[in-house]
Amino acid sequence: MKTRVICFDRALSYHDALMLQEEILAARIRDLVPDTVLFLEHTPVITCGVRSRPEQVLFSEGALKAKGIELAKSSRGGAVTFHGPGQLVMYPIIKLGAGGAAAADGAGGVRGYLSALEEVAIRTAEFFGVRAWRRKGMTGAWTEGGKLAAIGVRFRRWVSYHGMSFNVHPDLSGFAAIIPCGLAGEEVASLEKLLGKACPALHEVREVMAEQFGAVFNRKYPAPD
């Protein structure tokens, strides 16, 4: 099954990326386009998922604006997280169910989909020499230095959107403005924090993640647009 991959080499605002997702999502529901995976970075933004609470954002909107950080509500699952340049974001817009997005291990449904995204993150980290793992009852990928990848998704007519953020070399101070994913006292990691000068470039991580996505989801796709 072929999957279209679209990559952006400039940071997009959260609003612009969401509008793009909505456009592709509507077309995918009608089978006008193939399954599509977006790879991008965001301009600095704190997004509040459907399980977020006001107290998880530690600064006022005005104080965040002064720091150059936008505050945005999101329809994705999960609580509060931070996005910014240096963080690789993957938004798969793919159809679940019969003929849709099943992982290579045959896992299906929403839980299987989330597990498959975690597997993509874990394999990507391990490619660069970082051991990553799941935590029972939680979503994402953790390392000895903290949470490396966060996942928040939503479905419309069994087509996925939103997705996963993976910290390559973002400014981690952005996470100090929130209680990340609603988990008080948890550390946030990045490949740069864990690997130092050996941290790969974001485009290298993107290439590996695209390959791992193809392997986990049993997908074939042309060269990225």
Catalytic residues: 181
Task: Give the max Cα distance, the chain.
Answer: 48
Please write down the HEC assignment for all residues of the chain.
CECEEEEEEEEECHHHHHHHHHHHHHHHHCCCCCCEEEEEEECCEEEECCCCCHHHECCCHHHHHHCCCEEEECCCCCCEEEECCCEEEEEEECECCCCCCCCCCCCCHHHHHHHHHHHHHHHHHHHCCCCCECCCCCCCEEECCEEEEEEEEEEECCEEEEEEEEECCCCHHHHHHECHHHCCCCCECCHHHHHHHHCCCHHHHHHHHHHHHHHHCCCECCCCC
Q: Which residues pair with 37 in a beta bridge?
A: 5, 92
First to last CA, the chain: 17
